[in-house]
Amino acid sequence: MRKGDNVAKYDVAIIGSGPGGYVAAIRAGELGLKTIVVEKDPFLGGTCLHVGCIPTKVLLHHADVYDHFKDGAELGFEVSGLKIDWGKILARKNKIVLKHAKGIEFLFKKNKVEWKQGWGRYEGPGKVSVEKDGKKETIEASNVLLVSGSEAKSLPEIEPDHKQILTNRSILELPDIPKTLIVVGAGAVGVEFASIYNSFGTDVTILEALPRVVPVEDEEISAELDKAYKKKGIKIFTSCMVEGVKKDTKCVTVSFKDKDGKAQTLQAEKLLLAVGRQPLTANCGLEKSKARTERGFVYVNEHMETDEPGLFAIGDIVAGMPQLAHAAMMEGIVAVTHIAGKPTQPVIKTRIPNATYCEPQIGSIGLTEKQAKDAGYAVKTGKFPFIGNSKATILNAHGGFIKVVSEEKYGCVLGIHIIGPLATEILAEAAAVLNLEGTIDDMMHMIHAHPTVWEAMGDAFASVRGLQINV
């Protein structure tokens, strides 16, 4: 390189430090790429760490422990004087979030990743501007990753006030547990909060526009969750249209049309809007690029590169990909590995696991039975209920099942759908089978340790051939 050549200061500049951004940055550092992250907030970790995956799972764990205490008598424990110290629960949640945010800072230092606070904007090939407190500076980088994430959508005429009408952010900071809660939306975020507050004694009602709860899951999983939730006392209205919300000092009143078109109203102390997430790409400089976008989502190729060479998009802003932390992480890894000139594999949508941490938990991957049939496969399914699994009985959690969707001729596994104990953990085997393109016969010969909840997977694969042992 001759003196005077325009040398880019960084190999990679990453806008956003959520799971897509921070994982990409660490891997880029490991691969020897000079890397800088621009983050608008004064802390690292994004939605996932601060107001998404991690704080919700802390609350779900606390709800789970509380449920065990409530069921103490069945297990032979006399529990008296059981009380919830909500302030302590929130403090523990905040401590865990802070610890992990510091952990990311540590990993950045370890991998020589720099970071800068400010609003990052793509300014054309090799340039990113960073704006903070009215001051603007420019970073030069050969490659730019836009990983700016998403925010909660609201409904027309229903704007969150964060006191009575809440989003995933404000519901994490409630000073008290509400007595009544309406959750609008029965996707992963909605059903997780419904589960948390139902355990803590809130009277919860779910309103969902589509015909079933967790609508992206296999139909049998939705039906099982519906049944389990109604048994816990959670009221569910599906195929209903929310029309408006009125507030007074004490409560919110929601008006909606139920599935028969009948006008109804419901009152509650709080309302949670969980109707999906929109990409945060406005004012990020995409208009200065050739990147193709639709409703704020960005189209990419198999290396996560947009139509603008050197500009990559990762995570919740990517068109056609699920908005999940682990999807964002792998997309970031693929992009920086490609930038480092090393071979990568594309992120395949049907190999991304879904984990929903409601009670009962849901874990799924691959095609649902309907999707497999619609795709033209001759489909063969098997199903194994946890009632036949001894460890599930020991855990006192034997509701639910594992459903395997396979292709009839060669027994290729197309999808696995789990609802029940440790579903999000035993999903690990399902992800391995799909990624390694295993067959029912491969999996029927795999030895599963006994007694584990995991061994129910063996029975589920065998059930496709009618050879399950334990039911």
Ligand X SMILES: Cc1cc2nc3c(=O)[nH]c(=O)nc-3n(C[C@H](O)[C@H](O)[C@H](O)COP(=O)(O)OP(=O)(O)OC[C@H]3O[C@@H](n4cnc5c(N)ncnc54)[C@H](O)[C@@H]3O)c2cc1C
Quote the CA–CA distance of 359 and 152 in Å, as a whole number: 23
Q: Is 40 in the site for ligand X (CB under 6 A)?
A: yes
Task: Report the site for ligand X in 349-388 (rule: CB under 6 A).
Answer: 355
Residue placing its CB nearer to ligand X in the complex, 271 or 379? 271
Q: Does residue 450 have an active-site annotation?
A: yes
Q: Is 46 in the site for ligand X (CB under 6 A)?
A: yes
Considering only 128, 280, 427, 456, the residue that binds ligand X (CB under 6 A) is 280
Contact string (CB under 6 A) for ligand X, positions 102-121, x = contact: -----------------xx-
> Minimum distance from CB of 256 to ligand X (Å)?
23
The CA–CA distances, whole Å, from 82 to 177, 200, 331, 395 equal 15, 12, 45, 21
Q: Where are the extended beta strands (E) located within 347-394?
A: 354-356, 362-366, 379-385
> Minimum distance from CB of 327 to ligand X (Å)?
7
Q: Is 187 in the site for ligand X (CB under 6 A)?
A: no
> Minimum distance from CB of 345 to ligand X (Å)?
20
Q: What is the DSSP letter of 358?
A: S
Would you say 13 and 143 are in contact if contact means Cβ atoms under 8 Å apart? yes
* Those residues with Cβ within 8 angstroms of residue 382's Cβ, 6 or more apart along the chain or in another chain: 403, 404, 406, 440, 460, 461, 462, 463, 464, 465, 466, 468
Going by C-alpha positions, the residue among 308, 380, 361 that lies closest to residue 195 is: 361
Q: Is 305 in the site for ligand X (CB under 6 A)?
A: no
**Amino acid identity, position 180:** T
Q: Is 326 in the site for ligand X (CB under 6 A)?
A: yes
Considering only 147, 213, 251, 457, the residue that binds ligand X (CB under 6 A) is 147
**Cis peptide bond N-terminal to 451, omega within 30:** yes
Considering only 41, 137, 302, 374, the residue that binds ligand X (CB under 6 A) is 41
Contact stretch for ligand X (CB under 6 A) within 59-67, 245-253, 298-306, 319-327: 319-327
Would you say 414 and 432 are in contact if contact means Cβ atoms under 8 Å apart? no
Considering only 14, 33, 36, 48, the residue that binds ligand X (CB under 6 A) is 48
Q: Is 196 in the site for ligand X (CB under 6 A)?
A: no
> Minimum distance from CB of 76 to ligand X (Å)?
33
Going by C-alpha positions, the residue among 48, 40, 37, 41 that lies closest to residue 323 is: 48
Q: Which two tokens stand for residue 460?
A: 């589920």
* Those residues with Cβ within 8 angstroms of residue 275's Cβ, 6 or more apart along the chain or in another chain: 152, 153, 154, 155, 184, 185
Considering only 300, 325, 419, 440, the residue that binds ligand X (CB under 6 A) is 325
The CA–CA distances, whole Å, from 95 to 17, 58, 89, 100, 347 equal 19, 10, 10, 9, 33
> Minimum distance from CB of 373 to ligand X (Å)?
27
Considering only 19, 190, 415, 420, the residue that binds ligand X (CB under 6 A) is 19
> Minimum distance from CB of 10 to ligand X (Å)?
15
Q: Site residues (CB under 6 A) for ligand X?
A: 15-21, 38-41, 46-48, 52-53, 56, 119-120, 147-150, 168, 189, 280, 284, 315-316, 323-326, 328, 355
> Residues with catalytic annotation?
450
